[in-house]
């Protein structure tokens, strides 16, 4: 009798464990089985994720990382546009397998999802009409545009409490407000502003040297999805070692690009 009870109890224990494991999910196994990696990406933010005029496909720095991960898995890529506000819910609801969308890692977000090692590093600045803003003081009491659900929105509120922050669905809408004189600045990561500036009339706008935060980007993965997180981290560390990561940076931010920036980071394991 005691033996039967022990067997039943062991069975129950194993069943409970398996149920728990499947709840946490194993994206690595799922993606291999379905043969496609579904990535949530930006589609209007050159050079991270935008629609190429010739090929009409989404290309960019974030896309190249997703492609490298899919390549290593031997699966296809499906790109799904997300916004700053929708990217985490999309991941949690299972509509995408990974976020590669200019997303800053921070402790608040890390309570909800897991992040890869940092694969890009930038900081928050402002895009303004040339000569109008020299310091944060010039922004006090003014209207500033940014995007809903971004760290840019939170940082701006903290850095300039007297300003009115207008949050749009995406950054190009903020730039439209800037060109129409509805805001005096658009604020977000310097690397994103560089892409927005490149599309504006030369000399009319600038990014003054006012930096209010550090923004390390991570690839977003469902909480507790350890196998997939390890795979992604291993892949991007290998890309750093082989020089592929630096090559991707150079493709989008090199001296011949529209958005020349210095590579002020290397991909290393988080401490
Ligand atoms: N990197 C910042 C963030 O994750 C701003 C860019 C964005 O909105 O995606 O919130």
User: Which of 75, 71, 86 lies closest to 40, judged by CA?
Assistant: 86
Q: Vertex 236, ends 29 and 195: CA angle to 5°?
A: 115
Residue environment code for 75-104, b if the CB has 16+ CB neighbours within 10 A, otherwise e: bebebbbbbbbbbbebbeeeebbbbbbbbb
Would you state the pLDDT for residue 271? 78
Q: State whether residue 254 is helix, strand or coil.
A: coil
Q: Is 165 in the pocket of ligand 1 (CB under 6 A)?
A: no
Specify the pTM: 0.91
Q: Is 167 in the pocket of ligand 1 (CB under 6 A)?
A: no
Query: What CA–CA distance (Å, rounded) separates 37 from 24?
Result: 18
Give the residue, out of 118, 152, 171, 186, with the most ligand 1 atoms within 8 A of its beta carbon, to mutate for a pocket test.
152
Q: Which atom of ligand 1 is nearest to the CA of 152?
A: 5
Would you state the pLDDT for residue 17? 45
Q: Is 213 in the pocket of ligand 1 (CB under 6 A)?
A: no
Minimal-distance CA residue to ligand 1 atom 9? 102
CATH of 26-119+218-253, one of 2.30.42.10, 3.40.50.10860, 3.90.1170.50, 3.40.190.10: 3.40.190.10
Would you state the pLDDT for residue 167? 98
What is the distance in A from the centroid of ligand 1 to the CA of 151? Answer: 6
Would you state the pLDDT for residue 10? 54
C-alpha 260: how far from its chain's center?
19
Give pLDDT tens digits along the chain (271 positions).
Answer: 555 555 444 554 444 444 444 445 899 999 999 999 999 999 999 999 999 999 999 999 999 999 999 999 999 999 999 999 999 999 999 999 999 999 999 999 999 999 999 999 999 999 999 999 999 999 999 999 999 999 999 999 999 999 999 999 999 999 999 999 999 999 999 999 999 999 999 999 999 999 999 999 999 999 999 999 999 999 999 999 999 999 999 999 999 999 999 999 999 998 7
Would you state the pLDDT for residue 18? 47
Look at domain 123-215 and name its CATH class: alpha beta
Q: What is the maximal distance between C-alpha atoms in the chain?
A: 86
Tokens of 23: 């709840």
Query: What CA–CA distance (Å, rounded) separates 39 from 67?
Result: 10
What is the distance in A from the centroid of ligand 1 to the CA of 215? Answer: 8
Backbone phi and psi for residue 90, each to the nearest 5 degrees, phi listed first:
-60, -40
Q: Is 146 in the pocket of ligand 1 (CB under 6 A)?
A: no
Cβ(192)–Cβ(171) under 8 Å? Answer: yes
Q: Is 215 in the pocket of ligand 1 (CB under 6 A)?
A: yes
Tokens of 176: 């439209």
The domain spans of the chain are 26-119+218-253, 123-215
Same fold, 26-119+218-253 and 123-215: yes
């Amino acid at each position: 009798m005691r033996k039967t009870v022990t067997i039943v109890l062991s069975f129950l224990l194993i069943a409970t464990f398996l149920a728990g494991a499947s709840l946490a999910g194993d994206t690595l196994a799922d993606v291999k089985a379905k043969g496609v990696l579904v990535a949530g990406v930006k589609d209007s933010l050159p050079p991270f994720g935008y629609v190429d005029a010739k090929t009409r496909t989404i290309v960019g720095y974030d896309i190249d990382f997703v492609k490298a991960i899919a390549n290593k898995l031997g699966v296809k890529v499906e790109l799904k546009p997300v916004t700053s506000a929708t990217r985490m819910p999309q991941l949690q609801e299972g509509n995408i397998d990974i976020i590669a969308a200019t997303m800053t890692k921070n402790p608040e977000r890390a309570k909800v999802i897991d992040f890869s090692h940092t694969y890009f590093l930038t900081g928050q600045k402002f895009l303004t009409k040339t000569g109008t803003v020299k310091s944060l003081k010039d922004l006090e009491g003014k209207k500033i545009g940014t995007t809903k659900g971004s760290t840019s929105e939170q940082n701006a509120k903290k850095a300039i409490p007297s300003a009115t922050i207008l949050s749009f669905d995406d950054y190009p809408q903020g730039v439209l407000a800037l060109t129409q004189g509805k805001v005096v600045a658009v604020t977000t990561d310097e690397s994103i502003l560089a892409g927005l500036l490149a599309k504006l009339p030369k000399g009319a706008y600038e990014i003054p040297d006012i930096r209010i935060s550090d923004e390390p980007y991570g690839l977003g993965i469902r909480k507790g999805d350890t196998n997939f997180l390890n795979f992604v981290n291993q892949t991007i560390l290998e890309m750093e070692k082989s020089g592929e990561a630096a090559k991707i940076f150079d493709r989008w931010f090199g001296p011949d690009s529209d958005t020349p920036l210095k590579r002020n980071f290397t991909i290393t394991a988080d401490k």
